[in-house]
Amino acid sequence: MSYRVDLTVLSEQKQYCRFGVTLHNLSDQDLLDWKLQFIIDRYILPDSFTNGAIKQVGSFCCVTPDIDVLAANAHYYCEFSINTAPLRYHTDGFKDALIVEQNGAIKHSVVVTPIALASPYRERTELPVVEADRLALIPKPNQITTQNGRYLLSPNSQITLQSTRAEKAATWLQVELESIYQFKTNPIGHSEILFRNNPTLDEGEYNLTVSAQGVRIESGSASGFVHACATLLQLVEVTEQANTLQVPYVEISDTPRFRYRGMMLDCARHFHPVERVKRLINHLAHYKFNHFHWHLTDDEGWRIEIKAFPELTDIGAKRGVGTALEPQFSTLDDVHQGFYSQQEIRDVISYAEERGITVIPEIDIPGHCRAALKSLPELLQDQDDQSHYRSIQHYNDNVLSPALAGTYEFLDKVLKEVAELFPSPWVHIGADEVPDGVWVNSPKCQALMAEHGYHSAKELQGHLLRYAEKSLQKLGKRMVGWEEAQHGNKVSKDTIIYSWLSEEAALNCANQGFDVILQPAQFTYLDMTQDYSPDEPGVDWASTIPLETAYRYEPLIEVPDSDPLRKRILGIQCALWCEIVTHQQRMDYMIFPRLTALAEACWTNKPQREWFDYLSRLKGHLALLDRQNIKYRQPWTNQ
């Protein structure tokens, strides 16, 4: 080890903490004309910095020390403060560090020691001991009767379709039976898994009967057949014999509690290859989700091919060494890159459709647009704008201007391609977290405000979003956005609000007449940590979300069943933001098993939901996760 950096908490208050940084030169060479780079998610107060100066762009920090030479075997020390909540986890500390000499001509990697936290170590909270349930169905079906006996699926078992709507579900069932259980159905065997049309059943609803006559699945919708297959895949039990499975006798009549059941994946902060995206979509089908919200653009990366603007991916899909965007979140000395071609996107959409899942694209505007602004500076940057602002992720240059013709050209072309590519009737346009202070010192924005008699930046934002809404309507799409989409009071009630701040905010939007999807960060954000142990990966700005908290998420408790407001709540969505999600194993760890808990909030009626009952089913269900090689967070380490 030649270079090492230690980060230590020196003092800790609720909204003000001080840190010490020691860089050790353990090599036998002096460092000359050097700088220290590191990655940390928190905003460092520039005036609090000692022994040098710091420049921060997002999570990327570069320290110019007040000494030119760091002698061999000597160390450099500096301090800084933040005015946000204390750091609790090792993933809150430096993610990477690098020494650069002579303007980057020479680089030295630096070993980062885990942050020395102020708070005492807290043991992981253990879950209560439960017996594993043999009927380990998640989400729990809304009506289930069990009988004694088991039906044997053998090498002679055949799938029979009496409904064309069941074709895709039946194919999916075969694929999954083979990949999870190495079980193959026989195209010329007996008719033992029968798919039958039942037009009296609502969208998503299904009946599943297993008896001595075999497996009978009934639905009136393609999605209902998929949900039935998801249940069947959880019912089957392996036997000693090869290519033979058994299924307990049951009668299930099941229908979703909420018609919208979604998950959002952020592919901008870290790019997730197509295979990883599909893997997640497949898991979503197993838990009866029906929407995949694809967060495709953000400050740190533009991930969707737009033929009208190849720069968006040529430039905006790369960050790190030698690119237009600084390294962020994970590593300093490489290039993080990736985007989805339109062909790959079509492939993902049809993969999802085969599993009853609609893919909703998100193009996040007008904030969170740094990658686009850096890719198309001539079109999108307002050169006369002298406004000073800092976004929640510490950028001062990430917002589109509502007063530039280029912004509208950009929107027209991007939305047109997106609308053509995605069959989803909805397109998500973000609208979250436009920072205070934007546009105030832009002569063009001020002129636009005067022209329309606007009084606040929020109205300017509304102006732009109203344009996006109308454009999407012309393209045959309904606009959906985060709850800030209604700021400035310009978009119509046709826009659907994804509420992430709190249930109160959601109900407020519903009261105004918007349809709403519930995605409260305090329960549904899977990038939140799962416990207080410092080794838990994740963040905790909204809350820490242990499995029990995720399970106990019960929406609309305060809203009476008879309240018409309920009709405006279309469903529930969970989300994985990916600042810290760099690889498959981390993704699995953050998602599982909490996704199974949230699936139940989406699907299962309140009277059927009970924490201990869920735990028993989860315990019985873990074997199925293992079979799929899902690297879930072990719910029990004590049993």
Q: Which residues bind ligand ACM (CB under 6 A)?
A: 432-433, 482, 500
Of 459, 235, 262, 248, nearest to 356 (Cα)? 262
Taking the least distance from each CB to ligand ACM, the nearer of 97 and 265 is 265
Of 274 and 505, which has the nearer Cβ to ligand ACM?
A: 505
Whether residue 505 contacts residue 499, with contact meaning beta carbons closer than 8 Å, is answered with yes
Phi, psi torsion values for 600, nearest 5 degrees: -70, -35
Least distance from ligand ACM to the Cβ atom of residue 262, Å: 13
Nearer to ligand ACM, 12 or 432 (CB): 432
Alpha-helical runs (H) found in 198-335: 222-235, 274-286, 311-314
Q: Which residue number, 410 or 500, has a Cβ lying nearer to ligand ACM?
A: 500
Which residue's CB is nearer to ligand ACM, number 334 or number 436? Answer: 436
Indicate the pairing of strand 358-365 with strand 426-430. Answer: parallel
Give whichever of 454 and 500 is closer to ligand ACM, judged by the CB atom.
500
How many other CB atoms are there within 10 angstroms of residue 242's CB atom? 8
Residues 6+ apart with CB under 8 A from 567: none
Residue with tokens 């750091």: 87
Nearest approach in angstroms of CB 102 to ligand ACM is 39
Q: Which residue is nearest to ligand ACM (CB)?
A: 432
Between CA 36 and CA 493 the distance in angstroms is 50
Q: How far is the CB of 405 from ligand ACM (least distance, A)?
A: 28
**Minimal CA–CA distance to 423: which of 482, 491, 348, 340?**
348
Question: At closest approach, how far in Å is the CB of 448 from ligand ACM?
Answer: 25
521: phi then psi, degrees, rounded to nearest 5: -55, -35
Q: How crowded is residue 612: how many other Cβ atoms within 10 Å of its Cβ?
A: 9
In angstroms, what is the minimal distance from the CB of 195 to ligand ACM? 39
Q: How is 531-581 classified by DSSP, letter by letter?
A: SS-TTS-SB-SS----HHHHHT--TTTTS-TT-GGGGGEEEEEEEE--SS-
CB of 299 to ligand ACM, least distance (A): 11
Nearest to ligand ACM of 419, 539 (CB atom): 539
Please give the backbone phi and psi of residue 298, each rounded to the nearest 5 degrees, phi first.
-165, -175
Grouping H, G, I as helix, E, B as strand and the rest as coil, residue 276 is: helix
For residues 163 and 196, the answer to whether their CB atoms sit within 8 Å is yes
Cβ 362 to ligand ACM, closest distance in Å? 10
Rounded CA gap, 534 and 115, in Å? 10
Q: Based on CB atoms, which residue is closest to ligand ACM, 353 or 432? A: 432
CB of 365 to ligand ACM, least distance (A): 13
3-state secondary structure of 124: coil
| Beta carbon nearer to ligand ACM, 151 or 500 | 500
Alpha carbon 632 to chain centroid, angstroms: 16
3-class secondary-structure state, position 459: helix
Q: Where are the alpha helices (DSSP H) in 331-422?
A: 342-353, 370-375, 377-380, 405-421
Please state the closest distance from residue 478 (CB atom) to ligand ACM, in A: 19
Whichever of 271 and 498 has its CB closer to ligand ACM, that residue is: 498
Measured from the CB of residue 332, what is the shortest distance to ligand ACM in angstroms?
A: 25
Cα 466–Cα 472–Cα 478 angle in degrees, nearest 5: 95
Nearer to ligand ACM, 251 or 432 (CB): 432
Identify the helix (H) or strand (E) that includes residue 512. Answer: helix 503-512
Nearest distance, CB of residue 426 and ligand ACM, angstroms:
16
